[in-house]
Structure 1
Amino acid sequence: MALGITLLVVLTSYAFYFLALHYFPEQIDEAAWAPSPPEWLWLAATTVTGLVLAVIVAINLSRRILVPLNSVADSMRRVAQGDLNVRATAGDRSLGEAAELADDFNALAGQLQRVSDDLAFWNAAIAHELRTPVTILRGRLQGLAEGVFPPDESQFRSLLTQVEGLSRLIEDLRTVSLTESGHLDLQFQDIDLSAEIKDVVALYKEALEASGQRPALDLHTGPVYCDPMRIRQALLALLENARRHAVPGTIRIQSGMEDGWYFLRVEDNGPGIPSELFSQVFTAFRRVNPAHISTQDEGSGLGLAVVAAIAHAHKGQATCRPSSDGGSCFELSWPRGKAGY
């Protein structure tokens, strides 16, 4: 703006003195210190013109600056009042800093909204998962207290089953939440992972056979660096998932090493998962096909989320893909060696 006004004064001075000296030279006294009336007129005209230009530019510039700033300020007040759907207007993006401020605020508001939505979803899902076992426990205990049910071994075993289900749900919730917050404590050590897998399968073999499924092992022998308790927990979740949702057949459990990564795979014979749903199977409380699962055996919706959480805690990943027999192959993999842990 200063450069523009300077140019305006210089250029108009050339034009003014050319016209003045050509048409009314008697009005210009080159020896006088004070400006002549025509010169005063020229100075006033250039001053007013410069002021008008400065005001126009200032108004335009302030509007371009204040629109995103006012939008951000107003949006912040609305967010403070609980409206997480509000977004700021970036306005003219030629002023990069103001537009970036609005964009950063929108990103923050979007993240807050996602966190709020996830929190509401988790609260509702946890309440739903806890309702069934708590209702069963209350009904059974009330029946025992009123003499409706005989206090025999079967009743106590039924109560114990519900309590164990609650314990598993609480531990799964704890594992997932600790992983997301980065506070899941792992106890790494070199172990013979094949022996751990055999122990878990032996403990779970009866439950698999009751569902018409036969475990088949193909294991890598040798030391593996991991947290054995968490790997056992992940394997139990994969076996439980196969027991609940796979058709009768062979459950193949395989471990090994590929390209510097350890892996643990569990494959079933079907019915399989549509490929477009692979990205959802490891999300907590999001069941892929709940319509085909009975109410009594639908599970908590946390098992595969626990597997993914344990994989991420090992700086690895959990994946799902079709198996060679038309079923599903779930794989837990993590890097070999102690570097980075």
Structure 2
Amino acid sequence: MAKQCSRPGAPGREHAEGQRPIGMFSSLRAELSLLIVVATILAFVIAWLLSIIGINGWLSMPVTIVVTLAFTYFTSRGLTRPLGQMRDAAEAMAQGDYSVRIHLNKDSNDEIGQLAESFDTMADELEHADQMRRDMIANVSHELRTPVSALQAMVENMADGVVEPTPVNMENILSQTHRLSDLISFLLDMSRVEAGASSLEIERLNVAELIDETVGPLEYADAGHGHTIEQRVPDDLVVEGDEARLRQLLTNIIANALKHSRDDTAVLVEAHAGEHGDTVIINVVNFGSDIPKEVRNDIFRRFVKGTSGPGTESGGTGLGLSIARWAAKLHGGTVQVVDDPRGVDFEITLPVTPPDPQTLQEQAAGRDSETAYDGQ
């Protein structure tokens, strides 16, 4: 839970809010100008009152100065209090405490109020990033420990003569090494995501052939679950792109649909040209299930694992959908979950001809600023 940052002995949130008497203006300069005007008027009134009661100028002058300075000091102290809070918050964040926040009332509309609001937004992002780092370490450690422990146990049993190196046992060892290899590949892909760029080898691709070549290995790897993958793709549909990245995009989306489908059910992969003919739209439909609208963006965030219902498979690294969206962005496309009465529908939209790399970087920067830690 976020907490307010305050120095020892400093007032709490409500008291601090009450000590910004002129924070409702939209400009700090206007507030300071008003403070100067009020202080000047106050000095004139005090000097006038002192002259009325007969106090001479040599005595009234220091009294007027002291009172005016005291008024200015306490008023400006309340006006700039958030700056001290931000200093303390920055020091706390430097020590690793990202829960600190600067709480101001809703009337704080000047630059200091805007700065405090931006500071809280930055603190939210840093706290989220720190939590993601912790989650990443925990997830990667867990994902690595599982196959490594299995491999260690198998090899130790063989070395001790407890089990024989039969083809079945060797196949189990091979499957665990494949799992480790897949995880390492995921992590390497995520390093490319963090770098924000990747080289593309653009070529003209037949969408039907690309999907068919992607589906084949997935059907083979799905043995035992009874899933079927139905394809409805026109033979003449083409797109320009990097074959390896597009295959990775399709593999992750289709594999995710298979993972969250009940045994002996079907997954539909269909494609068609966009309304204006400049895009290709691919839909991967997982029949009979649903993803609530409020979490549809979250599932594309790194290390977020979808929950599975009865009879479905769970697990994985939580990276597949994040990498899929990244691969689509590299081509100037999008991946999203759309409403479909048939079930969960992942819709991939790709331009027939990808934009140039500079345009892609500008578009990606714009999307990242809009979704900042909605997740992308």
Q: Shorter chain as normaliser: what TM range?
A: 0.7 to 0.9
Give a deviation string over 1:266-291, Cα, whole Å, max 9, x none: 11323444444433332333333246
Q: Between 133-142 and 235-244, report the one with greater CA deviation.
A: 235-244
2:261–2:312 contact (8 Å) kept in structure 1: no
2:206–2:238 contact (8 Å) kept in structure 1: yes
Distance verdict in 2 for CA 1:95–1:63, change over 3 Å:
farther
Q: Between 82-91 and 217-226, report the one with greater CA deviation.
A: 82-91
What does residue range 106-185 of structure 1 map to in structure 2 within 5 Å? 106-185=120-199
The higher radius of gyration belongs to 1
Q: What is the CA–CA distance in structure 1 between the aligned matches of 2:315 and 2:345, rounded to whole Å?
A: 20
Distance verdict in 2 for CA 1:239–1:210, change over 3 Å:
farther
What amino acid maps onto 1:211 in structure 2? H
Q: Does 1:334 align with 2:350?
A: yes
What does residue range 36-75 of structure 1 map to in structure 2 within 5 Å? 42-44=56-58, 47-48=61-62, 50-75=64-89
TM superposition shift of 1:123: 0.7
Residue number in structure 1 paired with 2:268: 252
SS at match of 2:100: coil
1:318–1:331 contact (8 Å) kept in structure 2: yes
Q: What is the CA–CA distance in structure 1 between the aligned matches of 2:83 and 2:346, rounded to whole Å?
A: 50
Identity %: 25
Q: Does 1:319 align with 2:336?
A: yes
1:266–1:329 contact (8 Å) kept in structure 2: yes
Residue number in structure 1 paired with 2:243: 228
Residue number in structure 2 paired with 1:240: 255
Q: Does 1:267 align with 2:285?
A: yes
Q: Does 1:286 align with 2:304?
A: yes
TM superposition shift of 1:81: 2.2
TM superposition shift of 1:56: 3.1
2:43–2:64 contact (8 Å) kept in structure 1: no
What amino acid maps onto 1:8 in structure 2? F
Q: What is the CA–CA distance in structure 2 between the aligned matches of 1:176 and 1:292, rounded to whole Å?
A: 30
TM superposition shift of 1:137: 0.8
TM-score, normalised by the number of residues in structure 1 = 0.78
Distance verdict in 2 for CA 1:87–1:7, change over 3 Å:
closer
Q: Mind listing any 5+ residue stretches in structure 1 that lack a counterpart?
A: 20-37
Give a deviation string over 1:27-66, Cα, whole Å, max 9, x none: xxxxxxxxxxx8xx55346534541442133212331244
Distance verdict in 2 for CA 1:292–1:185, change over 3 Å:
farther
What amino acid maps onto 1:144 in structure 2? M
Report the RMSD for the aligned CA atoms in angstroms: 3.4
Distance verdict in 2 for CA 1:322–1:70, change over 3 Å:
closer
Distance verdict in 2 for CA 1:148–1:122, change over 3 Å:
same
Q: What is the CA–CA distance in structure 1 between the aligned matches of 2:348 and 2:241, rounded to whole Å?
A: 12
1:287–1:301 contact (8 Å) kept in structure 2: yes
SS at match of 1:281: helix
Q: What is the CA–CA distance in structure 1 between the aligned matches of 2:63 and 2:157, rounded to whole Å?
A: 94
Give a deviation string over 1:156-193, Cα, whole Å, max 9, x none: 22211111111112212322342244134333333223
Q: What is the CA–CA distance in structure 2 between the aligned matches of 1:120 and 1:57, rounded to whole Å?
A: 49
What amino acid maps onto 1:266 in structure 2? V
SS at match of 1:337: coil
Residue number in structure 2 paired with 1:8: 44
TM superposition shift of 1:249: 3.2
Q: What is the CA–CA distance in structure 1 between the aligned matches of 2:108 and 2:230, rounded to whole Å?
A: 64
TM-score, normalised by the number of residues in structure 2 = 0.72
SS at match of 1:130: helix
What amino acid maps onto 1:281 in structure 2? I
1:272–1:322 contact (8 Å) kept in structure 2: no
TM superposition shift of 1:120: 0.3
Q: Between 242-251 and 271-280, report the one with greater CA deviation.
A: 271-280
Q: What is the CA–CA distance in structure 2 between the aligned matches of 1:170 and 1:234, rounded to whole Å?
A: 17
Match of 1:193 among 207, 213, 216: 207
Q: What is the CA–CA distance in structure 2 between the aligned matches of 1:63 and 1:293, rounded to whole Å?
A: 63
Q: Mind listing any 5+ residue stretches in structure 2 that lack a counterpart?
A: 1-35, 361-376
Q: What is the CA–CA distance in structure 1 between the aligned matches of 2:128 and 2:197, rounded to whole Å?
A: 21
What amino acid maps onto 2:88 in structure 1? D
Match of 1:306 among 312, 323, 337: 323
What amino acid maps onto 1:334 in structure 2? L
Q: What is the CA–CA distance in structure 1 between the aligned matches of 2:162 and 2:259, rounded to whole Å?
A: 32
SS at match of 2:300: coil
Residue number in structure 1 paired with 2:23: none
2:331–2:354 contact (8 Å) kept in structure 1: no
Match of 1:214 among 228, 232, 235: 228
SS at match of 1:231: helix
Distance verdict in 2 for CA 1:318–1:176, change over 3 Å:
farther
TM superposition shift of 1:90: 4.9
